[in-house]
């Protein structure tokens, strides 16, 4: 307890720095999940992707990032075991942030798309094992999270498969693909917008003090989505006037229309990603801040300090702008050849799955969700369309991530004990 009283301010500043480092790692590594498909399909340039992601990643983190935080902060370990030694919980959470951030920056430098969720959970388990023992870990909660790593790629893969198959059926495998694209792509715009509008209205607006009933939320989500669909329809009709000689029976014009749609799905994906993955940085930081400010009292429910969500959002943006391009190229071009229509199917499936998980408070791996979606698109074209070597390497990097986070956390935890105790 004396340690928290004597070094409280120092620990707070260090924790904020480690949380910021973790957020930078999230931006550097996980931006590929939001933008890799857009860049890989050439719907967006790297520069355009970074600008879009900066705006919507921050908006997702700030407006809708609070729901998942509770699961990471209180679900993985039993904090009641630290009641008599709150300083150990603070050191442990700080070491977890530093460990996960370090691993993510290393992986980003190497161009490996790893899971930020794996990183932080592995790190939290690592410090809990050495500080209190295995009884501190809520293995039931961990099983649920691990289960989601299998279930979510499967769900997003199914979504992507059927979205892509529907595009094939209604647009590509018809006599007039361009004409049908102009008809059906606005419908896809509607579906994409309603997914993101619902989570924004239902969850995000709570942070700014606006509470809507289910009926009101659906009304506004549908209204906004209809407006986007109408604007999209008018834009596509004006932008892609039928050129019977060149484009009616070719897929060039169709893919150009899907490129327009990819901008909307990129925004949706960035928002969904920011809302879900910011918890990996701000969850442990929230636990540290509340414990220090309450002089060692570990509360069941804590209000997130006003500065924590913006800190996470800014960190994500910094990481994405400085190191995001490396992992982006791995995901965008490595797994399978992407066109705007294929990239759209993968992105809409991923955004829908992440938003679904974010709404239920389950911290899923966005990386695995996206890879599942890209695999779903690949399977729709046949197994030969997949680069299985790249897929294998990605899966291996996932397996390594959890123990790497745990080992680094144990190392940093022991160093902190040597410094402060």
* pLDDT of the residue at 104: 95
Q: What is the per-residue pLDDT across 244-281, written as a single tens digit (0 to 9) for each?
A: 555 555 677 788 888 888 888 788 778 877 776 777 77
* pLDDT of the residue at 160: 92
Q: How far apart are CA 13 and CA 351, in angstroms?
A: 34
54 phi/psi in degrees, rounded to 5 = -55, -45
Range of 16's domain? Answer: 1-420
Q: What is the mean pLDDT of residues 304-313?
A: 82
Number of H helices, E strands in the chain: 14, 0
Mean pLDDT of the chain: 82
- pLDDT class of 67 with cuts at 50, 70, 90: low
Q: Which of 31, 104, 50 is nearest to 331 (CA)?
A: 31
Q: Which of 25, 33, 163, 30 is nearest to 105 (CA)?
A: 25
Does residue 411 carry a pLDDT above 90?
A: yes
Q: What is the mean pLDDT of residues 168-182?
A: 87
Q: What is the mean pLDDT of residues 56-76?
A: 68
Which of 13-22, 197-206, 310-319 is least confident? 197-206
Contact of 286 with 299, CB cutoff 8 Å: no
Does residue 171 carry a pLDDT above 80?
A: yes
Does residue 148 carry a pLDDT above 80?
A: no
What 3-state DSSP class applies to 294? coil
The DSSP annotation for 348-364 comes to HHHHHHHHHHHHHT---
* pLDDT of the residue at 130: 92
Q: How far is CA 208 from CA 214, 290, 299, in A?
A: 17, 21, 24
Does residue 167 carry a pLDDT above 60?
A: yes
Q: What is the per-residue pLDDT across 3-17, written as a single tens digit (0 to 9) for each?
A: 777 777 888 999 999
Does residue 206 carry a pLDDT above 90?
A: no
Task: Count other C-beta atoms under 10 Å from residue 59's C-beta.
Answer: 19
Q: What is the per-residue pLDDT across 310-367, written as a single tens digit (0 to 9) for each?
A: 888 888 889 988 888 888 877 777 778 888 888 888 888 887 887 777 667 666 777 7
* pLDDT of the residue at 204: 57
* pLDDT of the residue at 405: 93
* pLDDT of the residue at 161: 92
Q: What is the per-residue pLDDT across 281-304, written as a single tens digit (0 to 9) for each?
A: 777 888 788 888 877 676 655 567
Q: What is the per-residue pLDDT across 69-109, written as a single tens digit (0 to 9) for each?
A: 555 555 678 777 888 888 888 899 999 999 999 999 999 98
* pLDDT of the residue at 32: 67
Q: How far apart are CA 128 and CA 410, in angstroms?
A: 9
- pLDDT class of 205 with cuts at 50, 70, 90: low
Number of domains forming the structure of the chain? 1
Contact of 63 with 204, CB cutoff 8 Å: yes
């Amino acid at each position: 307890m004396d340690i928290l009283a004597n070094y409280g301010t120092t620990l707070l500043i260090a924790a904020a720095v480690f949380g910021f480092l973790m957020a930078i790692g999230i931006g550097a590594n996980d931006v590929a999940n939001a933008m890799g498909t857009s860049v890989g399909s050439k719907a967006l340039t790297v520069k355009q992707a970074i600008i879009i992601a900066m705006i919507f990643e921050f908006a997702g983190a700030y407006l809708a990032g609070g729901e998942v935080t509770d699961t990471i902060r209180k679900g993985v370990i039993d904090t009641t075991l630290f009641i008599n030694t709150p300083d150990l919980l603070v050191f442990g959470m700080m070491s977890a942030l530093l460990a996960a951030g370090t691993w993510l920056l290393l992986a980003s430098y190497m161009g490996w798309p790893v899971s930020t969720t794996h990183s932080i959970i592995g790190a939290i388990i690592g410090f809990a094992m050495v500080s209190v023992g295995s009884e501190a870990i809520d293995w039931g909660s961990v099983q649920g999270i691990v289960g989601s790593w299998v279930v979510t790629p499967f769900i997003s893969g199914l979504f992507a498969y059927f979205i892509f198959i529907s595009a094939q059926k209604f647009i590509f495998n018809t006599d007039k693909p361009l004409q049908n694209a102009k008809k059906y792509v606005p419908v896809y715009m509607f579906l994409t917008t309603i997914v993101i509008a619902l989570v924004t209205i239902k969850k995000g607006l709570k942070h700014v003090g606006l509470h809507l009933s289910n009926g009101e939320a659906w009304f506004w989500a549908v209204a906004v989505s209809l407006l986007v669909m109408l604007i999209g329809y008018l834009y596509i009709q004006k932008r892609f006037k039928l050129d019977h000689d060149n484009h009616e029976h070719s897929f060039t014009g169709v893919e150009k229309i899907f490129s327009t749609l990819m901008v909307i799905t990129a925004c949706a994906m960035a928002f969904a990603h920011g809302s879900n993955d910011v918890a990996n940085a701000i969850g442990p930081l929230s636990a540290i801040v509340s414990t220090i400010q309450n002089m060692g009292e570990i509360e069941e429910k804590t209000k997130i300090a006003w500065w924590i969500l913006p800190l996470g959002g800014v960190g994500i943006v910094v990481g994405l702008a400085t190191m995001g391009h490396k992992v982006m190229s791995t995901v965008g071009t490595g797994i399978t050849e992407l066109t705007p229509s294929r990239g759209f199917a993968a992105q809409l499936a991923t955004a829908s799955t992440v938003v679904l998980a974010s709404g239920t408070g389950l911290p899923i791996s966005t990386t695995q969700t996206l890879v599942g979606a890209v695999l779903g698109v690949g399977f729709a074209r046949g197994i030969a369309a997949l680069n299985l070597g790249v897929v294998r390497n990605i899966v291996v990097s996932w397996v390594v991530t959890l123990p790497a986070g745990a080992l680094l956390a144990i190392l940093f935890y022991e160093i902190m004990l040597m410094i402060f105790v």
